[in-house]
Chains A and B, each alone.
Chain A
Amino acid sequence: MRLHNLNRGFFHWLAVIAITLACISIEGEWKWLSEYPNAFIAPFSDWLNVIMDWTVNNCGSFFMGISWLLEWPIWAVQKVLNWLPWSVSVFLFSAVAYAASGWRLAIFTLSATIYMVVIGYWEESMNSLSLVAISVPLAILIGFVIGVWGFYSDRAERVIMPSLDLFQTVPAFAYLLPILLLFGFGTVVGLIASVLYSFPPMVRNTIIGLRSVAPEVIESGLMSGATPSQLFWQVRVPSCRRQILLGVNQATMASLSMVIIASIIGGTSDIGWEVLTTIRKAQFGESLLVGMVIALMAMIIDRITFGLAQRSGIYDPNQQGLFERYRLLLIAALGGAVLFVLAQIFSVLVDWPREMVWSPGRAMNDGLAYLIINYHAQIDAVKTFAFFYVMLPIKIGLQGAVSPFTWGFALTPYHKAIYTLAMAGFSLWLGLRGKNMAGVLVMLFAVFIYFGLTNIPWPCVILIYGVIGWKVGGRNLGLGTMLGFGFMAVTGNWAEAMLSIYLCGIAAIISFIFGTSVGIWAAHNDRVSAFVRPINDTMQTMPLFVILIPFVMVFKIGEFTGLLAIIAYAFVPAIRYAEHGLRNLPETVIEAANMMGATKNQLLWRVKIPLALPVMMLGLNQTIMYAIAMLVIAALVGTNGLEQIVYIGLSDGNFGIGIIAGLGMAIIAIIADRTTQAWSRTRREQLGLDASL
C-alpha cells in the first residue's frame, strides 16, 4: 500500500467509521444512544407559545391596525378588476405584453387569458391577481430598502443575509398561523405571507446589483460633483437597473406561488381556494385545469417583467421614443374603450355564461381511471420494486429490509459475512489503487446501507454530517452543521428529521440523476431542449398541490407517492443547470480537445462534464431546495417527517410546534445549501473557472 498517499483526511474518516460502528455495537446497553432521551428535550415550543400569547394580548391592536390599513388597497384593486368586463382586461393585458416583448407574447397572453374566461374562472383569477398586484409592489419596496441598507452597512448585511435564508426556507405552513393570530382573519394573511416569502430575492438582487456598479462609473459621478443622493439615484441605481429588475421578476414569481399556499386560510374566493376545493374532492381533471391558470399567469408575468428588464437600459438612437410609446398607449386606451362600449351591448363580453363554460375535467378523470384500471399490475410492480429494493434499505437498512417476504430470503450470518468481506475488499482495492477517498466513501456507504438512516445512533449522525461539513467547507461549516443537527435532537424532533432527510435525500438524488441526464441530452440536441423548456416552466409554476392527486390515485397514500411528487417538482433545476453548464463552456477548451482527437464520448466524459460539474452542483443545490419546498406539501399524502408536524401545528393551532419543526426543515435546507455551494466553489477554483457565478 502506498502509505505516503494517505493524508490526514483519510484517517479522520476512518475514525468516524470506527466510532459509528462502536456506537452501534454498544447501543443495546446505552439506550440514550439510539433514542434521544426525553428528559433532555427543551420545551422550546411551549416557550414560543407563551411569547405568542403575550404578543397577541398586548400588541394585538397594533397589528390589527396594520391589517386594517392593508385591506383597503386589495379591496380597491379587486373591485376594479372585477368591474372591468373581461374583454377589456384581456385586451389590455395583451397590449402590455406586446409593449414588453412583442407579438408572440401578446398572442400567448391573449390565448391564456381567454382560457381563464372559457373554463369559467375569470373572477377567481382576478381575485388572485389583485392579491399579487398589492403584494409584489410591497415586497419590492421592502426588499429594495433592506437591500440598500445591507449595501451601505456591513453589520446590517451580516444580520440580513441569514434572515433571508430563513424566510425562504421555513415552510409557509409554519408561519401562516402566527400571521393569522396577529393580523386577524382575512386577505391580509395571504398578503403578508406572500410578502415575507417574496421580498428576499429583491434584497439579494439589490445588493448584488449595487455592488456590481463599476468604480469608474462612481468616480465619474463624483467628479461631476454629484451629491450623495444624486450619486445614489442617478448613478448607482440606473447602472444596476437590470439586476434590480431581475429581483422584481423573482419576487413576482415567489409571490404567485405563495398566493396559492396562503389560500388555505381562506378569505377570498381566489384560484388557490378553487384548487384546494377540487383537490379535497379528488377531482384530478378539474384541479389541473384550475391549477393551469396560476401557471399561465406566472408565465405571462414572468415574460413581461423579463421583457421589460431586457429592454431597459438599451440605448437605441433610432427609437422614436415618446411618439412610439404614446401611439401604443393611445391604441390600448382606444381599444379598451371600444370594447367597454361593446360590452355594454353584448353581455357575453362582461359575464361568460355558465352554459358556455368548457371543461374537459370529467374526461380527464375518466382517462386517469382508464390508466389505473388497465395498468394496475405494472404500477404495483414498479411500486413494490422501489419500495423493497431502494426505500426500505435506506430507511431501516439491509438488516431490516431483507426478509423472506421482501427479498425472498432471510439474512443469515453467511450473507452478512459475504457482505462485509465484499465491501471491505472493494474499499481496500480502491485504496490500493490510490483512491483513498473513494475507498472511505464505499466503507461509509456500506455501514450506512446496512444499518439504515433511522437506525444509526443520533450522535453518530451528527458526527458524520459535521465531518462532511468540515471537509467540504471548513471548520465553521462543520460546527454549524453539528449545531443545526443538535437543535433537532434538543427540540425532540430527531426521528421526524431523519424521516424528512431520508425522503428528501432519495428524491434529490433521483431527481438529480434523471434531471442531469435529460439536461445533457438537451444541451446536445436543440429539439429536445425546445421540447423540455415548456414542460419545465409548467412544472415549476403549477401549484404544487395539483401534482398530488393523480399520484395518489395511481400509487396510493404513503411515502412512495410523496417521493414521486417531490421528484416531479425537483428534477427541473437539475435539467436547467446541466444544460446551462454544458452550453456555456469556454469554446477554446472544446476546440483544443477536438484537435487532440478526442472522440465524442471522451469529449463528453473527460472534458465537458468535469468542466460543467460546478454548475451542475449548483443544480444539485437547487434540486435539494426544491425537494425540501415540496416536502411540506407531500405531508398531505401521508408522509411522517418534520413536514407532518408543521402541518399538525397549523391544524391544531399550536404555533410553537409548527414553527420549531419548520425551523428544523430550514436548517436541513441551509446545511445542504452551504455544503453544495462550498463544494462547487472549491471545484471552480481548482478548475480555474470564474468563481463568481
Chain B
Amino acid sequence: MFNLSRVARLVAVALLASGGAVTAGNVPETDQPIKVIMNDWTGQHVSTKIAGALLQKMGYNIEYVSAGALPQHPGLAQGNLHFQAEVWSNNVGDLFPKMVETGEIVVLGDLGLEPREGWIYPPYMEEKCPGLPNYKALYDCAQAFATAESFPNGRLITYPADWGTRSRDVVTGIDLPFNAVAGGSEGAMIAELTSAMATKSPIISMMWQPHWIFAAHDFNWVEWNPIDGECIEENQEKETACGFSQATVNKVVWSGFEETWPAAFKMLSMMTLTNADQNAGILEVDNKGRDIHDVADEWLANNEATWKPWVAAAMN
C-alpha cells in the first residue's frame, strides 16, 4: 500500500517535472485519489463540494464516496475514507471519540459554522400561545400543542431515539407539561413538520440549523435565559433554564492524511465556511433544484478573496 503510494508519488513528481501542471512546487504529492465523504444531507454536500473543488484546483484527484454518519468513522479509521467536512460534536455515537483518542481519526478543527439547536415552532403558533418565543409561555399553553395521545400535556417532537434524549431531559428537568416524542428519523421529523405547516396544525419540535427546512419554511426559535459560558443541560431549573448547549462542527481526516497529502492537509486546516454560505447553497439545491456541482463552482467564483489565501499558504 505504502510502496504503491510512494511509486505514485514519484510518478507524479516526474509528470510535474515534465511541465504542464497549473500548480506550483510538488503539489499534488501523489495521484492517489482523496476519498471525500458525502453524507445524506444537503448542507454537508455544500461544504464537501466546496472543499473538493478547492482540492481539485490544487491539482488533487478527488473521489466522492457516499457514507452513513456512523459507518464513516470505521471507514476513516481504516483509511478507506480520507476527509469529512462536517462532524457534528453532538451526534457522533461512541465510536468516534474512541477513534480520535487512539489517533486513528484526526480532528482538523472547527469548520466555522455556528450551528443552533433548540425547539422551533411555526409563527402561527404565537397567536395560540401569545407568550412565545419565551419558553415560560409553554407552561401555560401546553394544551395548544396537545394531541389525542398527549392530552392534557403538549406534544414535543424530539430527535430520534438514537441521537440521545436531550429534549426529554430538559422537559423533565424544568417540569414542563409536555410529552417528548422521539422523531424516529430525520425524514419522519421533516415529514411531520411540513405536514403540520400545510394544515396549520400545532407543532413544536427539536431542530438544528443550518438545515434546508429553514430555507423552505418560516420557523421561530423558543428563547431561553441568556447565560454566560456554556449551558449545562443536565441541571436546569424552571426559573433559570438555559436550553441547550451548542454544538461545534469539525473537519476530520484519516490519520495518514498529513503524510500523504501535506499541502491538502494545510489547506483543509485553514478552510472555513459561514452559515450564510451554506444556507445560500442549500436554498439553490433544494428549492431551485440546481446541481450541487454548479452551486459549489459558483461559490468559488464569487469568493476568490476568501479561498485564494488558503490555497496560496498551502502551496508554500
Contacts and interface: CB of A to CB of B under 8 A. Distances in A.
Interface of A: 64, 180-181, 184-186, 189, 264-269, 273, 276-277, 279-282, 284, 354, 369, 372-373, 376, 380, 383-384, 387-388, 405, 548-549, 552-554, 556-558, 635-640, 644, 647-648, 650-654
B157 A557 contact: yes
Given A281-B41, A553-B191, 19 more contacts: A64-B78, A185-B67, A185-B72, A185-B78, A266-B72, A269-B66, A279-B187, A280-B186, A369-B198, A372-B198, A383-B148, A552-B192, A552-B195, A557-B157, A557-B183, A636-B185, A637-B185, A650-B70, A652-B95
Contacts of B93: 651-653
13 contacts: A180-B74, A264-B68, A264-B71, A266-B72, A273-B66, A280-B185, A281-B187, A369-B198, A372-B199, A387-B148, A405-B151, A554-B195, A652-B95
B148 A556 contact: no
B66 A268 contact: yes
Interface in B153-212: 157, 160-163, 181-192, 194-195, 198-199, 201, 212
A439 to B, nearest CB: 36
A184 B184 CA distance: 27
Query: Which of B78, B163, B186, B212 is the most central at the interface, judged by chain A CB atoms within 10 Å of its CB?
Result: B78
A281 B184 contact: no
B46 to A, nearest CB: 14
A637 B71 contact: no
- 3 smallest CB-CB distances across A and B, nearest first, come from A185-B75, A638-B184, A266-B67
A369 B194 CA distance: 9
Contacts of A273: 40, 66
B80 A185 contact: yes
B71 A184 contact: no
A64 B80 CA distance: 11
A663 B99 CA distance: 28
Contacts of B78: 64, 184-185
B161 A282 contact: no
Contacts of B161: 638, 640, 644, 647-648
A638 B199 contact: no
B194 A282 contact: yes
Nearest to A644: B161
Interface size class, chain B: 35 or more
Given A180-B71, A185-B80, A373 B198 contact: yes
A647 B194 CA distance: 25
Contacts of A637: 184-185, 188
Nearest to A550: B191
A556 B192 contact: yes
A387 B201 CA distance: 19
Nearest to A369: B198
Most chain B beta-carbon neighbours within 10 Å: one of A405, A557, A558, A652: A557
B278 to A, nearest CB: 16
A373 B68 CA distance: 34
B65 interface: yes
Contacts of A556: 147, 192, 195
A639 B192 CA distance: 15
Contact of B71 (A266, A557, A648): A266
Contacts of A269: 66
A354 B95 CA distance: 40
A120 to B, nearest CB: 11
B228 interface: no
Contacts of A185: 67, 71-72, 74-75, 78, 80-81
B291 interface: yes
A89 B93 CA distance: 43
B73 interface: yes
Contact of A638 (B182, B190, B201): B182
A638 B70 contact: no
A279 to B, nearest CB: 4
A70 B131 CA distance: 61
A186 B68 CA distance: 11
B67 A267 contact: yes
Interface string B76-90: 001011000000000
B149 interface: yes
In this complex, which of B67, B74, B185, B192 has the most chain A Cβ atoms within 10 angstroms of its Cβ? B185
Task: Identify the interface centre among B67, B151, B162: most chain A CB within 10 Å of its CB.
Answer: B162
A372 B286 CA distance: 22
Contacts of A552: 184, 187-188, 191-192, 195
Nearest to B91: A651
B184 to A, nearest CB: 3
Contacts of A635: 184
Contacts of A651: 69-70, 93, 162-163
Nearest to A278: B187
Nearest to A639: B184
B201 A376 contact: yes
A647 to B, nearest CB: 6
Select the residue from A276, A369, A558 with max chain B CB neighbours within 10 A: A558
A606 to B, nearest CB: 43
B170 to A, nearest CB: 19
Nearest to B99: A653
Nearest to B71: A265
